């Protein structure tokens, strides 16, 4: 007599629902997080553009702010920053030691995006970008 083994192979309906639920959670997170990440990358690009200009080290703080705003509005659709609130986010700082650059752009801001119900994603941005170019005063 032959012994016939009947084992089940494959995914059950319950397992399929769990896998689809997990994928839905990951997709929801990615869809909500992407705008924050994209905004951050556009801001970094605009800041690098200002910091790498040949005369960047000779610019005053106000000129750095204006060039940043010009770069940001010319290449992106971000309207979070304007002439009135940019002073709260962008500062030009001097290096305190010889190992630090003489002047840097210090940029700080927070962005939030609703995930679900009471949960929110928070992007905290706090970076310095050394000003390149001919070293000079303000």
**Integer Rg of the chain from CA:** 25
Q: What is the pTM of this model?
A: 0.78
Q: What is the 3-state secondary structure (H, E, C) of 23-50?
A: HHHHHHHHHHHHHHHHHHHHHHHHHHHH
Q: How far apart are CA 86 and CA 30, in angstroms?
A: 29
Distances in Å between the alpha carbon of 53 and those of 2, 19, 49, 58, 68? 82, 50, 7, 10, 11
**Average pLDDT across the chain, whole number:** 88
Which pairing describes strands 119-130 and 90-94: parallel, antiparallel, or unpaired?
unpaired
- Structure token digits, residue 24: 């839905």
Distance of CA 36 to the CA centre of its chain: 6
Lateral strand order in the sheet of 103-116: 90-94, 103-116, 119-130
In 3-state terms, what secondary structure has residue 30? Answer: helix
Q: Kindly report, residue by residue over 58-71, the tens digit of the pLDDT.
A: 999 999 999 999 99
Contact by Cβ (8 Å): 129, 46? no
pLDDT at residue 20, as a whole number = 96
Domain ranges of the chain: 34-130
Q: How far apart are CA 55 and CA 71, in angstroms?
A: 16
Q: Kindly report, residue by residue over 77-131, the tens digit of the pLDDT.
A: 888 899 999 999 999 998 887 777 789 999 999 999 998 889 999 999 999 999 9
Of the chain, the percentage scoring pLDDT greater than 70 comes to 93
Q: Kindly report, residue by residue over 87-101, the tens digit of the pLDDT.
A: 999 999 988 877 777
């Amino acid at each position: 007599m032959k012994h016939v083994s009947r084992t089940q192979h494959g995914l059950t309906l319950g397992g399929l629902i769990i896998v689809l639920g997990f994928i839905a959670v990951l997709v929801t997170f990615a869809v909500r997080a992407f705008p924050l990440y994209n905004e951050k990358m556009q801001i970094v690009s605009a800041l690098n553009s200002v910091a790498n200009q040949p005369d960047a080290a000779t610019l005053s703080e106000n000129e750095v702010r204006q060039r940043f705003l010009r770069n940001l509005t010319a290449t992106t659709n971000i309207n979070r920053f304007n002439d009135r609130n940019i002073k709260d986010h962008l500062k030009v700082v001097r290096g305190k030691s010889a190992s630090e650059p003489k002047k840097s752009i210090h940029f700080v801001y927070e962005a939030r995006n609703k995930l679900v119900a009471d949960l929110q994603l928070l992007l905290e941005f706090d970076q310095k970008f050394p000003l390149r170019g001919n070293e000079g005063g303000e």
